[in-house]
Structure 1
Amino acid sequence: MELHHEFTVPVPVDRAWPALLDIERVAPCLPGAVVEEYDGKTVTGSVKVKVGPVTVTYRGTAVFEEQDAVAHRMVLVANGRETRGQGTARATVTAALDEREDGGTAVSVRTDLTVTGRPAQFGRGVLAEVGDRLVGRFADCLASRLAGGAEEERATGATGTAEGVTAPAAPAAAGGTESEPPALDLLRTAGVPLAKRVAPVAAALAVLVVVVVRLRRRGRGRRR
């Protein structure tokens, strides 16, 4: 399925571009994500997803297939597989940045997503709702980091990094020196709309369990 999202960040495009490519600093804005290794093109890591009482961890890689610094366009292809299951996830993410008249940057993101396994049971509508909320959280987190870096730069007179970006240091994901972030809770992220959709399914499963238990008990009673 294909998802489209747009958001803005309060810095010029020349600062927003390197910030989005700084994976180790961006990762804390992605719920459940852990970066294990990044060589400037390929990211190795994991994403932990919680669906009700079930937690699924995907491990895999993400590769920048395109990084056009002139057009401010990037293409990232990510592939992951469940560590304890047969489910898979694949996403091709295309992002384009444009300078706004107010000095900020507009970011347009198109995601071609394919998911198999337990999270796929919720369907396109629910996953789209989750995607909308996650992008919103990511945009707020990134904007906060960029704005914070700009204020610190003005206050201290620092020149920033080689790319001209300063931001609060992110927790070290590689090497396991910091605790893992909490799993991305799909039910909590989607909120009430998802809960309403899942409730009938959960109720049906509960009734099925009760019926099976009763049949087993009756079967045992008859054998006695």
Structure 2
Amino acid sequence: MELHHEFTVPVPVDDAWRALLDIERVAPCLPGATVEDYDGKTVTGSVKVKVGPITVTYKGTAVFEEQDETAHRMVLTASGRETRGQGTARATVTGTLSERDGGTAVSVRTDLTVTGRPAQFGRGVMAEVGDRIIGQFASCLAERLSEPAVPAVPAVGTEPQPPAPQEAEAIDLFRTAGVPVAKRAAVVVAAAAVLVLLGRVRRHRRLGHPRARR
């Protein structure tokens, strides 16, 4: 599925470009994401998604395939796999920055492919959730960009150490999507729970009441 989002941040385009490439600085603004390592091109980390009683964690990598500073255009290819399941997620994200009224307009186009449990919700739910997540990200990013970056000062005689990655709280789709979307997602979750329950009941009956041999 293809998703498109746009938001603005209150800083000049060159400042916004540098900030968006500062992964460690902006990663805390993306709900559910944890960055474990970044070498300037490849990001390694995880994303947690929660739907009611189900929490799905994807671990994988994202690689900057393109960083055109002149055109202010970046292309990021990401792929991940469920840590406890067979589901996968792949995305190609193209971001373009342009000047707008003294600030910066950020256009994000995502080509997303998801398999496994979250895929059951369909494009409509995924698009609405994406809108809200991008909205949260834009608000957080705008707040961070309005604050000056404060470099860490290492103690005398010690080498500076990178901060340890902090595990992010899972994206709660019920909270993020709101009641209408959550109700539609709940139907899927409830149906899955019923199927699992019926399967257990049937297995219990077969184990508890074996057929007599003829």
1:197 equivalent in alignment to 2:196: no
Contact 2:120 2:188 in 1 (8 A): no
For 1:68 and 1:211, how far apart are their aligned partners in 2? 53
User: Shift of residue 199 of structure 1?
Assistant: 3.9
Deviations 1:174-194 (A, max 9, x none): 988464221111222111122
User: Shift of residue 94 of structure 1?
Assistant: 0.2
Task: For 1:194, give the aligned amino acid.
Answer: V
Query: Aligned with 1:19: secondary structure?
Result: helix
Judged with a 3 Å threshold, the aligned counterparts in structure 2 of structure 1 residues 207 and 38 are, in CA distance, closer, same or farther, namely closer
Counterpart of 1:105 in structure 2 is 104
Query: Aligned with 2:146: secondary structure?
Result: helix
1:52 equivalent in alignment to 2:52: yes
User: What TM-score do the two structures reach when normalised by structure 1?
Assistant: 0.80
For 1:175 and 1:117, how far apart are their aligned partners in 2? 35
Task: For 1:140, give the aligned amino acid.
Answer: S
Contact 1:129 1:190 in 2 (8 A): yes
For 1:212 and 1:44, how far apart are their aligned partners in 2? 38
User: What TM-score do the two structures reach when normalised by structure 2?
Assistant: 0.83
Number of residue-to-residue matches in the alignment: 202
Contact 1:145 1:167 in 2 (8 A): no
Deviations 1:139-169 (A, max 9, x none): 00000001122xxxxxxxxxxxxxxxx3698
Query: Is there any run of 5+ residues in structure 1 with no aligned partner, and where?
Result: 150-165
For 1:184 and 1:47, how far apart are their aligned partners in 2? 8
Contact 2:34 2:166 in 1 (8 A): no
Counterpart of 1:12 in structure 2 is 12
Judged with a 3 Å threshold, the aligned counterparts in structure 2 of structure 1 residues 168 and 186 are, in CA distance, closer, same or farther, namely farther
Please give the residue correspondences for 1:73-92 in structure 2 after superposition, counting only pairs within 5 Å.
Answer: 73-92=73-92
Counterpart of 1:95 in structure 2 is 95
Deviations 1:82-118 (A, max 9, x none): 1111100000000000011x21000001000000011
Contact 2:36 2:165 in 1 (8 A): no
> Percent identity over the alignment?
76
Query: Is there any run of 5+ residues in structure 2 with no aligned partner, and where?
Result: 153-160
Judged with a 3 Å threshold, the aligned counterparts in structure 2 of structure 1 residues 56 and 199 are, in CA distance, closer, same or farther, namely closer
Counterpart of 1:155 in structure 2 is none
